[in-house]
Structure 1
Amino acid sequence: MSSTKKQTQLRLEPAVLAAGKDAAAARGLDFNRYVERLIVEDTTGARAAGMSAAQRLIDEHGSFLDDLEQQLDAPYTRQPGAAA
């Protein structure tokens, strides 16, 4: 079975390469697939669409999300009569 994919070479600073490999691993991808995905998302508008959707979510529900974040970050205070 032959692949239609082409091979290329990148020269990256060691810290950039390590960060890329860590990011790929965190997403369950190998480094090649991670780089390929970044390029596809950047050149097809998928990233822009995702960022636009995220901004709409923040615009529409930002205050709710801020309140929720504050509640989740607040130290837990035991309520009187609550089980241990």
Structure 2
Amino acid sequence: MLPPCYHTGVTSTKKQTQVRLEEDVLSAGKAAAAARRLDFNKYVERLIIEDTTGARAAGMTAAQRLIEEHGTFLDNLEQQLDAPYTEPQPGAAA
């Protein structure tokens, strides 16, 4: 019997590998993948691609530039959004 990829006419060029991770690292990776709605394999693949193509570095540079240019505005906005939750509410016990 042929593998499923031959039944559809689509073949995969992906290769399988094995890595050994500490239990807490694996758990953190699986949680991060789930938070992004990715399976663990896709998450690891994306991390490798981002790291080896410079995409991650470009994203971090853009984020740093955003913080440098608009950090004060973002801090003020965060304080405004948090204010209703940090100020005592009328009738609430202090």
State if a TM-score over 0.5 links the two structures.
yes
2:32 to 23, 32, 44: 23
Larger gyration radius, structure 1 or structure 2: 2
**Sequence identity, in percent?**
79
- TM-score under structure 2 normalisation? 0.77
Tell me the distance in 1 between the aligned counterparts of 2:11 and 2:29: 27
1:40 paired to 2:40: no
Gap regions ≥5 residues in structure 2? 1-9, 90-94
Q: Which amino acid aligns with 2:31?
A: D
Alpha-carbon displacement from aligned partner over 1:5-62 (angstroms, at most 9, x marks no partner): 1110010111111110111011010000000000000000000100011011111111
Query: Higher relative contact order by CA 8 Å / sep ≥ 6: 1 or 2?
Result: 1
- Give the alignment's TM-score, normalised by structure 1: 0.86
After TM superposition, which residue ranges in structure 1, 4 or more long, deviate above 6 angstroms?
none
Residue type of the partner of 2:55? A
**1:5 maps to which of 14, 27, 38:** 14
Deviation, structure 1 residue 74: 1.5
Q: Which runs of 5+ in 1 are unaligned?
A: 79-84
Q: Distance in 2 between matches of 1:49 and 1:7?
A: 29
